[in-house]
Structure formats: C-alpha cells, structure tokens
Amino acid sequence: MINTSVMTGLMELTPAQQLEFDRMKSIIQEEYAHFGFTAIDTPVLERADVLLAKAGGETEKQIYRFMKGDTDIAMRFDLTVPLARYVAEHYGSLVFPFRRSHIAKVYRGERPQKGRYREFYQCDVDVIGEETLDIAYDAELPRIIYAIFTRLAIGDFTIRINNRKILSGFMKHLGAEDQSAALLRAIDKKEKLSAEAFLDELRTIGLNELQVADVSRFTSLQGGTDEIIQNLRDMGISNAQFTQGLDELEQVVRLVRTMGVPDVAFTVDVSIARGLDYYTGTVFETTLNEYPQLGSICSGGRYDDLASHYTKKQLPGVGVSIGLTRLFSQLVELGIVNTDVRSVADALVIPLSDDELPYAYRAAEVLRKEGLCIDVYLESQAMKKKFKYADRIGVRYAVIVGKEEVQKNAVTVQDMTTGEKSVVSVEDAAQYLRRHQ
C-alpha cells in the first residue's frame, strides 16, 4: 500500500484540531473586517518573473518553481509580493488608503526543521497610501493586534514597538554604519546572551570601548514606555534621523493609547529591527509573556515603497502578519489550545428505529431553522452503536426520538457529559439546547 502520510514540513490536522485552527482563523478574519479591512485573494501560482522581481538569495532558493508548457511558474512565498502586484494591477479601481486583509497559504521549499513549514497560513493586514500615509495608521495596527490576541485568549501578550529610524540614527551617531548589519544581529540576540557575552560580541564586531558603552546604554533602557522615551531623549543624540524616529515613536505611542490599547499590552523596545531592508519606520513584534521562547507571533511595520518593481507610483504602507500555522503548532505543543474531540454539531438527533426517522428528521429541521448545527444518525444500527457514535464524535447533546417521544410530540435531550435527560417539546428543544450550551 502507498504511504499516506503527508510530506515532511506540511501540516495536516485531525478534525478536532482543524475545528480549533478554523476558530482561530475566523477570529483573525472577523477582527480584520471589524476594523474595515477588505479581504482580497490572489492566485497561489504567479509568473516566476513577477514573483522573483525583488527576491534573491535565500528566498529564491526556497521557491517552488517549475515549467508547464513554456510558462515559468512559481508558487507565492509570502502575501506581500502578491499585494504589490495586485495594487499595481488594479490601481485604477482601488481607493487609497487601501486597507486590505489577506489570509491564505504560502509556500517555501525549505529544508524541513522544527517550526518551519513548507506550506503555511499567513494572516496579513496592510494599509497602503498613495504617495503619503498618515502615521495614525501605524498606531491602528497595535489596536488590531490587541483586539485579536485578546479574543484568541492564549495568554497575556506584549506588543513591542520601535522605529527603524531610531536604530539607523543611532548607528550614524555611533559612527558604526559599516558594522550596522553585524550590530543589528548582535542587538537582536542580546536577550539570549549574558551581559558580558553581549559586550564581547560588540567588541568582536569591531566597536571601540566608547561605542560599546554607548550601545550598552542604548540597549539597557528599561522602565515604562514614557520613561524609555524620555531616556532616549536624554541620550542627547542630535542626529536628525534619530530625532525623527523618536518623534514618530512618541506620536505612535500617544495614538495607540488614544485608540484604547492599555499600557500593559504594549511597550517600546529599541532592540527590534525586523531585518535590514524592508522596513523604514515603525516596527512591531508581539510576544506571549509566559512563552517568550516562541519569539514574535505577530510582526510588521512601515515601509516606504510597496510596489517599486511593478509601478512608478510611490506607495508607502504599514502592515502586520500572523504566521498562524507555526503559532498553532506551537500552541498545540504547549497544550494551550483545546483540541479535545468535539463535534461541529450542537446536537446529534438519534431515531431509535427506522420508524421514527421521518419524525426525527423533521425535529432536526426545526432545530436547524433555529440556527443550530445538527447531525442526524441515519444508519439502521443497534442502539449501542448509535450512542457510541454520539460519544466518539464528541457531541454535547443527543436528541433522542423513540415511539414514546413521537406519541408525546416531544424529544428526549440527553447531555452526553452528565447523562442527564429531559423530555421537551420539539418547539422548546432549540431553546433548551441554547440555554445549556
């Protein structure tokens, strides 16, 4: 027989896991809509030249790419490149600021390793401006992140906010622009190093003792959001980029508060860079307070120019992304999400014999009309087998129909957890199920 397991690096869920995954995905989708973002979709398959216009190096190696006939085809590896193409292609019919959400699978032919997937869901939301985009949109993203992770209820979280200009300005101030790539990497892994090892790392990069002291001071800023901002001001760095970044950060923090995100849910974190090229202003990461080892579960930021490869229009934007496949697998591993077997159905209707099937099915229809999800057991089987099915699919209620129930124009509702039974009229059954949900 053929091996039926999925290829390594792909995620396939049991029905119970899928139910929980879909619930989380729906929450993200609903919250994006809640903030007025319009959902789009793009094909998984793109012409390779379109998809690779900007890519290179590692990304290019990871892409699934193949010929079909004489077309050079590639599978999308993120949702940002397709967004850039989409905006360029549909420019005339879009309204700016263009607020779009996109929740879909992307593909990377990576060497499989723990936590890396070859097919995974990204849940993206971006606002694209025409030539300019107000910084207030930067602030709205933490508001959306806050809404989503509050509803997901996977524990306390912290939205970490920084501005790339602060980092770039600081590098210039240091006179360490040549070492900036190595320095950003060092800052990025600071939390994993001892204080002494971090200083050694800085020396290895080639910083002098004055520079090391400055970096140490810069990355050690602690305290509340306002305190950190004040301390950054007090560093007395006069570099224009640094100052602009700090002003922007201050503005974002003020607006984030205005929009209703409580201080306990966000912080300023000057160590966040989010790579070297793409982001140009505000950057975000989100961490779970109890599980810092998961790293950032929702990241993004501001960029100057979305679609320079596809259009001459200047299209600045700001967005964030949730890597749901990876997050879900981590939460399953930590035992945080509930993947107990349970049915999508609110109740299973069981006709005790074939004679009661018509009555039972009509009862099911009454319950469905009330919006309930109803499974009806239609096999002619022994009673025991019918209840075993109810038990194994994990449905909360059995709605039993035998001769007696038909005579009384009623049904027996049995709570599958407690075994408790109640005889109610078909008309009252929906309300009964709802009350006990």
Say how many residues touch a copy of itself, by CB under 8 A: 92
Kindly tell me the sign of the dihedral angle through the C-alpha atoms of 361, 363, 365, 367.
negative
Map the footprint of a copy of itself across residues 268-297, applying CB under 8 A: none
Which is closer to a copy of itself, CB of 230 or CB of 381? 381
CA distances from 57 to 180, 290, 399 (A): 20, 35, 60
Q: Contacts with a copy of itself in 370-409 (CB under 8 A)?
A: 373-376, 378-380, 389, 392-393
Q: Residue 211 is encoded by which pair of tokens?
A: 């520079």
**Alpha helix stretches (DSSP H) within 193-239:** 195-205, 209-219, 225-234
Residue 395 identity (one-letter amino acid): V
- Minimum CB separation from a copy of itself for residue 147, in Å? 8
Residue 153 C-beta: closest distance to a copy of itself, Å: 17
- 13: buried, middle or exposed (CB in 10 Å: 19+, 13-18, 0-12)? middle
Residue closer to a copy of itself, measured from CB, 173 or 326: 326
Interface residues for a copy of itself in 191-230 (CB under 8 A)? Answer: none
- Are the C-beta atoms of residues 128 and 17 closer than 8 Å to each other? no
**What order of strands is seen across the sheet that includes strand 45-47?**
45-47, 71-75, 65-68
Shortest distance, position 361 Cβ to a copy of itself, whole Å = 5
Q: Which two tokens stand for residue 8?
A: 């390594």
Cβ nearer to a copy of itself, comparing 40 with 273: 40
79, 199, 268, 348: residue in contact with a copy of itself (rule CB under 8 A): 348
Return the range that interacts with a copy of itself (CB under 8 A); candidates 153-161, 298-306, 366-374, 414-422: 366-374
Q: Is 127 helix (H, G, I), strand (E, B) or coil?
A: strand
Of 231-239, 269-277, 357-365, 408-416, which part binds a copy of itself (CB under 8 A)?
357-365
Beta-carbon-side half-sphere exposure of residue 187 (alpha carbons within 13 Å): 27
Q: Does 3 bind a copy of itself (CB under 8 A)?
A: yes
Q: CB 346 → a copy of itself: shortest distance, Å?
A: 9
Assign residue 296 a region (left: φ > 0; alpha: ψ between -120 and 50; beta: otherwise).
Answer: beta
Asked if 231 interacts with a copy of itself (CB under 8 A), we say: no
Nearest approach in angstroms of CB 137 to a copy of itself is: 6
Q: Is there binding between residue 7 and a copy of itself (CB under 8 A)?
A: yes
User: Taking CB under 8 A as the rule, does residue 184 contact a copy of itself?
Assistant: no
80: exposed, middle or buried (C-beta count within 10 Å: 0-12, 13-18, 19+)? buried
Question: By the 8 A CB rule, do 140 and 35 touch?
Answer: yes
Instruction: Work out whether strand 157-163 and strand 119-128 pair parallel, antiparallel, or are unpaired.
Output: unpaired
Residues 303 to 342 in contact with a copy of itself, rule: CB under 8 A = 309-312
Residue among 290, 338, 358, 427 that touches a copy of itself (CB under 8 A) = 358
Return the range that interacts with a copy of itself (CB under 8 A); candidates 158-166, 243-251, 344-352, 418-426. 344-352
Closest to 310 measured CA to CA, from 11, 114, 38, 47: 47
For a copy of itself, the binding residues in 124-143 under the rule CB under 8 A are: 129, 132-134, 136-137, 140
Which residues are 100's β-sheet partners?
Answer: 38, 126
**Cα–Cα distance for residue pair 345/245, rounded to 1 Å:** 52
- Work out which of 109, 172, 251, 332 binds a copy of itself, going by CB under 8 A: 109
**Ranges within 32-91 binding a copy of itself (CB under 8 A):** 33-47, 49-50, 53, 64-66, 68-69, 71, 73, 85-86, 88-90
For a copy of itself, the binding residue among 182, 332, 336, 357 (CB under 8 A) is: 357
The C-alpha atoms of residue 270 and residue 168 are separated, in whole angstroms, by 11
Per CB under 8 A, the segment of 96-104, 183-191, 238-246, 295-303 that binds a copy of itself is 96-104
When asked if residue 151 is in the footprint of a copy of itself (CB under 8 A), the reply is no
Instruction: Give the helix/strand (H/E) hosting 126.
Output: strand 119-128
CB of 150 to a copy of itself, least distance (A): 12
| Residue 99 interacts with a copy of itself (CB under 8 A): yes or no | yes
Q: Can residue 22 be called a binding residue for a copy of itself (CB under 8 A)?
A: yes
Asked if 190 touches a copy of itself (CB under 8 A), the answer is no
Q: Which tokens is 362 given?
A: 């009509």
